[in-house]
Amino acid sequence: MILTTTDVIQDVIVQSYLGIVTAEVVYGSNFLRDFFAGIRDIVGGRTGSYERLFEEGQQKALSELEQRARRLGADAVIGIEIDTGTINIDQSGVLILITASGTAVKIR
């Protein structure tokens, strides 16, 4: 399975477009991670726990995207975009949302 952010794959012909595929990964907030990130905001520096969270989330979203494309009979997903956002659940926290979307295609 080819996964790419480009809308064409060099030296490959798209035989058919099978549709848009999407995948979502949602993480709940974590008190300890939020606490240490807050300290980083004060003293400066990178927040490794959130960097790892986003890296893991992006990989899981791409994996789910690939699985959904396979179910459609795709050989590739082109034009992939990964987005991140938050969902406010109440005053006590937020959910972190990572989405991946692209076009499932059959190639020759």
The answer to whether the beta carbons of residues 81 and 8 sit under 8 Å apart is: no
Share of the chain above pLDDT 90, in %: 60
Mean pLDDT computed over every residue of the chain:
85
Q: Which two tokens stand for residue 12?
A: 């490959």
What does the pLDDT read at residue 94? 76
Q: What structural domains and CATH numbers belong to the chain?
A: 2-107 (3.30.110.70)
Statement: residue 82 has pLDDT above 90: yes
pLDDT at 18: 98
Inter-residue contact 69 to 45 (CB < 8 Å): no
- For the entire predicted model, the pTM comes to 0.79
Residue 69: Cβ-neighbour burial (10 angstroms; 0-12, 13-18, 19+): buried
Other CB atoms within a 10 A radius of the CB of residue 73 amount to 10
Report yes or no: 77 and 3 within 8 Å, Cβ to Cβ: yes
pLDDT band at residue 4 using 50, 70 and 90 as cut-offs: very high
- Identify the pLDDT of residue 92: 66
pLDDT of residue 53: 81
Which of the pair, 43 or 94, is modelled with greater confidence?
A: 94
DSSP, res 50: H
